[in-house]
Structure 1
Amino acid sequence: MPLSTRQSVIIALIVASAYFMENLDATVIATALPHMAATFGVTPVGLSIGMTAYLLAIAVFIPISGWVADRFGQRSVFGGAIVVFTGASVLCGLSNGLVEFTVARILQGVGGAMMVPVGRLAVLRSTEKHHLMRSIAYITWPGLAAPVVGPALGGFISTYFSWRWIFLLNVPIGLLGLALTATFIPNYRASTHRPFDVSGFVLSGVALICLMYGMELVGQLHSDWRITVAALTCGAGAAALAIRHLGRAAHPLIDLSPWRIPTFRVTLDGGSLYVVSVSVSPFLLPLLFQLGFGLNSFAAGLLVLAYAAGNLGMKSVTTPILKRFGYRNVMIVNGLLTAATIAMCSLISPSTPRVLITLVLLIGGLCRSMQFTGINTLAFADVPPARMSSASTFFSMVQQMTIGLGIAFGAIALHAAVLVHGNHAQLSLADFRVAFLLVAVLVLISVLYFIGIEPDAGREVSGHTRTASR
């Protein structure tokens, strides 16, 4: 049931804080790996299992989040997820060995898997549709900013303080979030209890684990291609069986029926392609600045912060823009602008003025933020309240997959460029140019889906009318 405007805004800000904490932890340790590896007495490559375990745990447990929230209540589950995530953060910060660190990261992943879709569900249920865009904008920016800020922040903390503070800083955020959750988030739960779909959980879990692991192997230059193919094949087969089961089961773990809603389907299909393409940038840009420009990791991180600034800067104007021009027009034009800014990244070089590079990244961040808000709000514009839980779970699961696929696509694009240029010794500036152009093409393909959006789609959320755009 929608709540007062003040309370719905507070709930959105609580969820946004939890999202930022969860998204930051997914990327912040990337630049801290050498320091952590030295503490544990292992190689940085060996320590990457901590990142993998975290992402796989999220992938496995996202599908059950909707069922758990309906059964035990959204406040109980969201608050419990914060407790698990914060407690696991403490265990990560106190770890002195690889095994205990990996176990703690798995616990973090379980908490994160519950926070993302259940938090979104709490926002959707508490917000009137005409205020939905503002609330979704609040919870969208953490997912945009954290992957960009994370590596630079992790490098700074591990260099000038201790890598343990990366995890211990979650404690005050988690405690504050827990107190606010208990105060402001209602404990809505479904009036009827669905039986737990064991087959759906097993099939979706196997599919997500294999696909996520396979995509990570694709992103590694020296991985065994046989293991990669086996993981992806197993994942695709399990996914096909899962879809077949979920479509026929009387009480499926994930209800696939929201996909039949036109606005949900177009944002899931076209939006997934867009998310894949823009998820490549936080992966490619630091590599470009370090390997192509010769900058150190901290200087490269500072440049990429312009991208994050664009993400945050767009938040205040997304609502009036969508109200004035409507979802269809904005998502088409903004998609084209995104493709243009990514293509421009293929033209920059060490001699390009830093001001111009910063401007390109800033505009790219603005476009990325605009499109993410459009995708995340239009997806739920026509979903009835009874399907919100399944729609949120379904959407979160697909988005988690597309982010992983984005990193894999960036690696594939770089590998393809290396094959074209025949320089296997090291990545060159020309390789990055080809990779960025391939990513820009993928964005253009996503725009084709947005062309099919009805002119008045999502008008209840955006407030747009045809006369308003004349």
Structure 2
Amino acid sequence: MPTPTLDTTTTRWLPWLIAVAFFMQSLDATIVNTALPRMAADLGENPLRMQGVVIAYLLTVALLIPASGWISDRFGSRRVFFTAIALFTFGSLLCALAPSLNLLIAARVIQGLGGSLMLPVGRLVILRVYPRSELVRILSFITIPGLVGPLAGPALGGWLVEAVSWHWIFLINLPVGILGCLATRRLLPDLRSPLPQRFDGLGFLLFGASMILISIALEGLGELHLPHVRVVLLLMGGMACMVAYWLRALHHDQPLFSAELFRIRSFAVGIFGNLFARLGSGALPFLIPLLFQVGLGYSPTQAGLLMMPLALSAMLAKPIAGPLIGRLGYRRLLVGNTLLLGCLIASLALIGPATPFVWLLIHLGILGAVNSMQFTAMNTITLIDLHDQQAASGNSLLSVVMQLAMSFGVACAAALLGGFQDDYGDTEVLSAFRATFLSVGALSMLAAAIFLQASRETGRRIKPLAAEPEKSAQNVE
């Protein structure tokens, strides 16, 4: 597919439009996590068993993302992106009106319908409009406005929960969604493939069934309290569906995700690395607010304010991602950064009632910067060597893995937290949190072995970009 020619105004403002979608999702995610304890109290639920509100959204997004590339090529990026933002906004309204946990989870599923198209289609537009040499710069830039959500979300969510009610954490998505819809009509190019491929329906069912079964198995260890026999059966069934899908993809002429993608070394390393590294990173937005409110007794506003260093340092770290990758290369950076990230997550187990406030800010700030560097490097190594013909399939698979890994991360963290709470008892909740952070940190470090398989040459192409970061940033703005 040829690279479209856009006017100067569209080229300049298109990254901001995509960033609106990132902002909506990041704001929603951070506010929801901060408000979970108060939502649980209002709905009569255990605050340590509220992960269904988070997982329902993440899993819905992961399930429907595989169809996003085909839908975009079939109906056009502008129409699909507009519909996605509208669905997400409508789902937010339903969340605010939900009177029970089950209805709230159902409304989160509707939000997921919009989110499953919003982010991957936006990223696909970036891949098709800008050259590969600009990829790190553009992806870093469009993420910066989206990081305003995590920066303001926790504190705003905590304040709204205390000053009004948790329902307002969803209502604030409405004006942002309306703005995004209006901007899409004016700015987003209507890109589509001249020859859209036939949709792999059976592959979609096999792939989706595997994700649902594995997710339910992980939930069975936590909130659902399923017998171990059922958990094992669900887990094995999910793995069987996944194997069946990839065996079919090897011989299908137009599979949902082509197995040929894994012949690209950087893509394979990036996909598997994302899957395991995000188990820890995905658990953090769920675990940290619970630690502060349930484990340490902070108010929602205090917990929200303490989350701000994570987002602020993540924003500040984005512009230096390109220069560091160009200097160190993907392999060296990702191996070292993954080990450091795992150690920082595990060290959260040292936090207690006597921990100085300043040390909390420093610790979370460093963690946010390292986590941000991890995301940028993992995403770009996955996409940087894909050809235009592979962009839609590869981008969709990356988006699926990102959402799925975060869903698995929350489910694993919740299962660990619930299990440790049963071991330590209700009076030792803080001990359960400490054991959970140690376990999650250790799981995160396992991804370093995957990133060690990356080629030493990967990333050299972005060295000219790394040498002139300030000039590149000015060109975007």
What interval of TM-score do these two structures reach, taking the shorter chain for normalisation?
0.7 to 0.9
Deviates further, 384-393 or 178-187: 178-187
* In the alignment, structure 1 residue 165 sits paired with structure 2 residue 173: no
* In the alignment, structure 1 residue 62 sits paired with structure 2 residue 75: no
CA deviation string 1:360-385 (max 9, x = no partner): 11011101101111111111110000
- Return the match for 1:237 from 231, 240, 245: 240
> Could you say which residue in structure 2 is the equivalent of 1:196?
199
* In the alignment, structure 1 residue 123 sits paired with structure 2 residue 126: yes
> Could you say which residue in structure 1 is the equivalent of 2:309?
306
Q: What TM-score do you get using the length of structure 1 for normalisation?
A: 0.87
Counterpart of 2:309 in 1: which secondary structure? helix
Counterpart residue identity of residue 305, structure 2: L
Counterpart residue identity of residue 306, structure 1: P
> Could you say which residue in structure 2 is the equivalent of 1:444?
445
Structure 1 residues 9 and 366: CA distance shift in structure 2, 3 A: farther
What stretches of structure 1 of length at least 5 have no aligned partner?
none
What are the within-5 Å matches in structure 2 for residues 187-226 of structure 1?
187-220=190-223, 222-226=225-229
Structure 1 residues 226 and 140: CA distance shift in structure 2, 3 A: farther
CA contact (8 A) 1:136 1:376 kept: no
| 1:273 shift after superposition | 1.6
Counterpart of 1:346 in 2: which secondary structure? helix
| 1:233 shift after superposition | 3.1
Structure 1 residues 429 and 88: CA distance shift in structure 2, 3 A: closer
C-alpha separation in 2, matches of 1:324 and 1:47: 43
- Return the match for 1:383 from 366, 383, 386: 386
CA contact (8 A) 1:26 1:55 kept: no
Counterpart of 1:314 in 2: which secondary structure? helix
| 1:32 shift after superposition | 4.4
> Could you say which residue in structure 1 is the equivalent of 2:336?
333
- Return the match for 1:29 from 28, 32, 45: 32
CA contact (8 A) 2:141 2:319 kept: no
Counterpart of 1:188 in 2: which secondary structure? coil
Counterpart residue identity of residue 187, structure 2: F
| 1:105 shift after superposition | 3.2
Count the aligned residue pairs: 462
Deviates further, 372-381 or 406-415: 406-415
- Return the match for 1:279 from 282, 288, 293: 282
What are the within-5 Å matches in structure 2 for residues 43-192 of structure 1?
43-44=44-45, 51-95=54-98, 103-140=106-143, 150=153, 152-192=155-195
Structure 1 residues 92 and 11: CA distance shift in structure 2, 3 A: same
CA contact (8 A) 2:61 2:400 kept: no
Structure 1 residues 436 and 104: CA distance shift in structure 2, 3 A: closer
CA contact (8 A) 2:274 2:401 kept: no
C-alpha separation in 1, matches of 2:433 and 2:52: 27
| 1:142 shift after superposition | 7.4
Percent identity, please.
36
Counterpart of 2:426 in 1: which secondary structure? coil
- Return the match for 1:247 from 246, 250, 257: 250
C-alpha separation in 2, matches of 1:236 and 1:229: 11
C-alpha separation in 2, matches of 1:348 and 1:51: 24
* In the alignment, structure 1 residue 423 sits paired with structure 2 residue 442: no
> Could you say which residue in structure 1 is the equivalent of 2:474?
none
C-alpha separation in 2, matches of 1:371 and 1:30: 21
| 1:349 shift after superposition | 2.7
Structure 1 residues 352 and 92: CA distance shift in structure 2, 3 A: closer
Counterpart of 1:29 in 2: which secondary structure? helix
| 1:226 shift after superposition | 4.7
C-alpha separation in 2, matches of 1:434 and 1:413: 8
C-alpha separation in 1, matches of 2:106 and 2:464: 47
CA contact (8 A) 1:341 1:364 kept: yes
Counterpart of 1:452 in 2: which secondary structure? coil
CA contact (8 A) 1:3 1:127 kept: no
Deviates further, 431-440 or 125-134: 431-440
CA contact (8 A) 2:61 2:115 kept: yes
CA deviation string 1:218-241 (max 9, x = no partner): 343845545544433332222222
- Return the match for 2:298 from 295, 305, 323: 295
Counterpart of 1:383 in 2: which secondary structure? coil
Counterpart residue identity of residue 278, structure 1: S
CA contact (8 A) 1:346 1:436 kept: yes
- Return the match for 2:369 from 358, 366, 372: 366
Counterpart residue identity of residue 253, structure 2: A
| 1:118 shift after superposition | 1.1
Counterpart of 2:67 in 1: which secondary structure? helix
What stretches of structure 2 of length at least 5 have no aligned partner?
468-477
Deviates further, 18-27 or 448-457: 18-27
| 1:329 shift after superposition | 2.6
Deviates further, 93-102 or 188-197: 93-102
CA contact (8 A) 2:150 2:308 kept: no
Deviates further, 139-148 or 302-311: 139-148
C-alpha separation in 2, matches of 1:28 and 1:423: 29
C-alpha separation in 2, matches of 1:143 and 1:249: 38
Structure 1 residues 26 and 303: CA distance shift in structure 2, 3 A: closer
| 1:122 shift after superposition | 0.9
C-alpha separation in 2, matches of 1:147 and 1:155: 12
| 1:272 shift after superposition | 2.0
Counterpart residue identity of residue 174, structure 2: V
CA deviation string 1:249-299 (max 9, x = no partner): 222122232222111111111232211122222233233333443333332
Deviates further, 5-14 or 138-147: 138-147
Counterpart residue identity of residue 388, structure 1: A
Counterpart residue identity of residue 426, structure 2: A
C-alpha separation in 1, matches of 2:245 and 2:296: 45
